[in-house]
Amino acid sequence: MNTGKSETEEGKKRSGDVIVETVSRLMVPFIQLFALYVIMHGSSGPGGGFQGGVIFGASFVLLVIAFGIVNAGNRFPEAVNTALFSTGVYIYAGVGLLCIICSLGAAQYLNYGFLSLPVHFEERRALGMDFIEIGVGITVMAVIAEIFFNLAWKKEEDEKEGGKE
Amino acid sequence: MILSVVEQFPVLVVVISLLSAFTILIAGWLNKKSCWFLSFSTILVQLVMSVFILNHVLTIGTIHYWLGGWAPPWGIEYVVDALNAYVLVILLSLALICVTYSKRSIAHELPHKIVPFYTVYQLLVTGLCGVVVTGDIFNMYVFVEIFSLSAYALIASRGKIALKASFTYLVLGSIGACFFLLGIGFLYSVTGTLNMHDLSVLLPPLYGNKVVLAAFGFFTVGLSIKMALFPLHTWLPDAHSFAPSEISAMLSGIIIEVSTYAFIRVCFSVYTVNFIKLLPIFDFLCWIAALGIIIGSVLAIAQYNLKRMLAYSSVSQMGYIMLAVGLSTSTHHALWGGLTPALMHILNHALMKGCLFLVAGAFIYKAELWNITDFKGLGRKMPYTCAAFTLAAISMIGVPPSVGFVSKLYIILASLEAGKFIFVAVMLLSTLLNLVYFWRVIEMMYMRREEREKESHSHPPANKNEIPLSMLIPVLTLASLCIIFGILWLTEIPIPILDQVNALFGLGRYAAP
């Protein structure tokens, strides 16, 4: 963000370092892409939903550090966040329950082989695992961001209170 | 392999609870009132499932559920036998009663935190169910963490002083969980497996191994912190007295019991009776428990705050359960042999202490009455609530035919059979101490008049000021169950369930000579 004269006082206080902002703007898409790679790689190698989710969450942390909590918070409202960490759990538990439902109660929970997908038994296993990893990834990402946002908001509020005094 | 519907229930009990927790979170935005309804209906469904599971286990046999179809020891296995099913039914019944009670009391006490309260409450139930149904020791650790974390949050929900109580519990509870995890790590390093049945097969040749012995030490100490066994009970009084009352009832009635369940599971399913007999650990536990019984009761007498008094009473009641567990390897009688008295007291304590804490919550709900000295004349104002308290209190003292009487009778008979006459004396002394601290409360409620009334005897008796029906019904249900179950135990109808547990572990009359 350019340090123009029209910027508000709060913006100036936030320092608005050009290097930090530009670099993080460049980095964030790559971090997120890497996170997606780690999530999808989870079924066949090192990585997985948790690790990928943490990396994805870290990209939001970087945004907050570079642009301040107000700007980053507007991009990622709390309501969406809450919905996201429920969604992740729904995907996880839903895929597990689908295995039972698709097999009409013959297969166990999370027995991906019985998902009614138009592919081979082994491929269904791999795909099922990917679905699970995506669910885990979404929840972990949302929770990491939520924890950091909560801590950061708290700090901001304290500073405001301190300023008033 | 084709599974019957009931065989899917062990995993469904956990999964629908987890799904419901996050649904409550979303539904809470749309309508705050729906939270209670969702939580209540989920726990009701879970309870029905658990009854089916119990029936299946008793009539057909142990349920083995392989998650994802992976055969153990590679996959996680859920194993439900008579012990799990019995604890699961108790756990969900108490959870249902507490959630019914919480509708009005949480709306009154924590009006801004209704949505988070029910979300975390449902996660607590998820964790507790998970610990009970699992047959994999690492999975058990994960669920122990889930229910502990939910419990920390729920205890802190009142804010202020409750935060400190919750933090103390968090630090001690984490140490307990760490020790449990270290124990698991040690066993994994020598056997390479985490499945409980697999461990019990692989461990016997290694019983002399120092790593295996150290692991058992870690399990014992870690779970003793979780179950608040004297002298590791220091987190308990604060946590119980500052939590919302329904959470105190859950904490005292079932959370510490589930940790006891975990200990019994580790002792008899991972290690076996043969290992326990190698070491004098159970004799040691008996002595610790006996000390806990006496000291818990003495400290309870010193309390003025009702919930704090009940909390110290819980310390002494955990002593009863652990004394019964400690005696389990040296008794052989068909009725009171083996784990029967311990498991019996797990149910009995859930009923009695659940009822007492809910009544304590009722006094706080109506008039912010925390101290015993403020209870003057309550017997006339809140007749049903006080009657429920009296029923539960005489059960604690052990008046026949209440549940407390049966527990004490069985534990005394067990200690007589084991030849430990000192524990008979401990039980009798503890009964006297119970009488002292409960009679004090009953006397305040029924026999003292309020100051105002003393001045003018012509003054009409105080108006009835009873708690709402949705709180009164749970309280009265628990109080009447205290007597009903006492009679049921005396008629020996539910004993076959506990007998199956003894048969499973080779205890009591099934013990090898």
Choice between B41 and A150, residue whose per-residue pLDDT is larger: B41
Residues of the domain holding A33: 9-164
Q: What is the pTM of this model?
A: 0.90
| A148 located within any domain | yes
Phi, psi (deg, nearest 5) at residue B239: -60, -45
State the complex-level ipTM.
0.80
% of chain B exceeding 90 in pLDDT:
37
Is the model's pLDDT at B80 over the cut of 60?
yes
SS (H, E, C) A40-59: HHCCCCCCCHHHHHHHHHHH
| Partner-chain contact A79 B29, CB within 8 Å | yes
Helix (H, G, I), strand (E, B) or coil at B75: coil
B67 touches chain A (CB under 8 A): yes
Comparing CA positions, the residue from B106, B134, B92 lying closest to residue B24 is: B106
Fill in the amino acid letter for B409. L
Choice between B11 and B373, residue whose per-residue pLDDT is larger: B11
What was the pLDDT predicted at A15? 57
% of chain B exceeding 70 in pLDDT:
96
| A120 located within any domain | yes
A57 close to A145: Cβ distance less than 8 angstroms: yes
What was the pLDDT predicted at B454? 53
Note the maximum CA span of chain A.
69
DSSP string, A81-136: HHHHHHHHHHHHHHHHHHHHHHTTTSS-TT-GGGS--SS-HHHHHHHHHHHHHHHH
What was the pLDDT predicted at B461? 54
Q: What is the average pLDDT across B32-44?
A: 90
Here the tokens at position B410 are 């069985």
Classify burial at B341, counting beta carbons within 10 Å of its beta carbon; exposed 0-12, middle 13-18, buried 19 or more.
buried
B35 close to B115: Cβ distance less than 8 angstroms: yes
Secondary structure letter of residue B32 according to DSSP: T
What was the pLDDT predicted at B470? 84
Distance (Å, whole) CA A142 – CA A53: 8
Residue tagged 């993080």 (tokens): A24
| Partner-chain contact B2 A106, CB within 8 Å | yes
| A127 located within any domain | yes
Q: Which residues pair with B80 in a beta bridge?
A: B63
Phi, psi (deg, nearest 5) at residue B77: -120, 135
Is the model's pLDDT at A4 over the cut of 50?
no
Residues belonging to chain A with any Cβ–Cβ distance to chain B shorter than 8 Å: 79, 82-83, 85-86, 89-90, 93, 96-97, 100, 105-113
Residue range B205-240, pLDDT digits in tens: 888 888 999 999 999 999 999 988 888 888 888 888
What was the pLDDT predicted at A98? 85
What was the pLDDT predicted at A62? 87
pLDDT bracket for residue A6 (50, 70, 90): very low
Residue tagged 């679905």 (tokens): A131
Is the model's pLDDT at B8 over the cut of 90?
no
Distance (Å, whole) CA B269 – CA B281: 16
Q: Residue B445: enclosing H or E segment and its boundaries?
A: helix B421-446
Count of CA atoms in the C-beta half-sphere (13 A) of B95: 33
- Nearest CB among A89, A111, A112 relative to B18 is that of A89
Residue range B439-451, pLDDT digits in tens: 888 888 888 776 6
Distance (Å, whole) CA A88 – CA A94: 10
Q: Which range among B183-187, B415-419, B435-439 has the greatest average pLDDT?
A: B183-187
Count of CA atoms in the C-beta half-sphere (13 A) of A75: 11
Here the tokens at position B97 are 């009663």
Choice between A149 and B265, residue whose per-residue pLDDT is larger: B265
B69: chain A residues, CB-CB within 8 Å: 107-108, 111, 113
B228 close to B236: Cβ distance less than 8 angstroms: yes
Is the model's pLDDT at A2 over the cut of 60?
no
- Cα A17-A18-A21 angle, rounded to 5 deg: 85
| A88 located within any domain | yes
| A75 located within any domain | yes
B2: chain A residues, CB-CB within 8 Å: 106
| Partner-chain contact B25 A113, CB within 8 Å | no
Q: How far is CA B20 from CA A79, B93, B398, in A?
A: 18, 18, 39
Phi, psi (deg, nearest 5) at residue B78: -100, 125
B115 touches chain A (CB under 8 A): no
Q: Residue B64: enclosing H or E segment and its boundaries?
A: strand B63-66
> Would you tell me how many other CB atoms lie within 10 Å of the CB of residue B439?
13
Q: Which residues pair with B134 in a beta bridge?
A: B78
- Nearest CB among B5, B22, B67 relative to A89 is that of B22
pLDDT bracket for residue A5 (50, 70, 90): very low
Residue range A112-123, pLDDT digits in tens: 777 777 878 778
Distance (Å, whole) CA B11 – CA A58: 33
Name the domain count of chain A. 1
Residues B401, B407, B410, B413: is their CA dihedral positive or negative? Answer: negative
Residue tagged 């099922």 (tokens): A128
Distance (Å, whole) CA B102 – CA A137: 34
Q: What is the mean pLDDT of chain B?
A: 87
What was the pLDDT predicted at A154? 60
pLDDT bracket for residue B133 (50, 70, 90): very high
Residue range A10-31, pLDDT digits in tens: 544 555 678 888 888 899 999 9
What was the pLDDT predicted at B173? 92
Which residues lie below 8 Å from residue B140, measured CB to CB, with a gap of 6+?
Answer: B130, B131, B134, B262, B265
Residues B488, B52, B147, B165: is their CA dihedral positive or negative? Answer: negative
| Partner-chain contact B19 A90, CB within 8 Å | yes
B503 close to B387: Cβ distance less than 8 angstroms: no
| Partner-chain contact B67 A112, CB within 8 Å | no
Distance (Å, whole) CA B282 – CA A58: 50
What was the pLDDT predicted at A128? 83
Determine which of A58-67, B258-267, B355-364, B403-412 has the lowest per-residue pLDDT on average: A58-67
Angle between helices B383-397 and B403-418 (to 10 degrees): 10
Secondary structure letter of residue B374 according to DSSP: G
Q: Which residues pair with B78 in a beta bridge?
A: B65, B134
Residues in B 281-320 with any Cβ partner in A closer than 8 A: none
Nearest-10 Cα torsion for B344, B346, B348, B352: 170
> Would you tell me how many other CB atoms lie within 10 Å of the CB of residue B51?
16
Alpha helix positions (H), B110-160: 114-133, 137-155
Residue range B287-311, pLDDT digits in tens: 999 999 999 999 999 888 888 999 9
Residue tagged 């996201």 (tokens): A84
Count of CA atoms in the C-beta half-sphere (13 A) of A118: 0
Here the tokens at position B475 are 């309280």
Fill in the amino acid letter for A10. E
Distance (Å, whole) CA B310 – CA B241: 8
Residue tagged 């979780």 (tokens): B226
Is the model's pLDDT at B159 over the cut of 60?
yes
Comparing CA positions, the residue from B471, B485, B336, B504 lying closest to residue B417 is: B336
| Partner-chain contact B69 A100, CB within 8 Å | no
Secondary structure letter of residue B76 according to DSSP: -
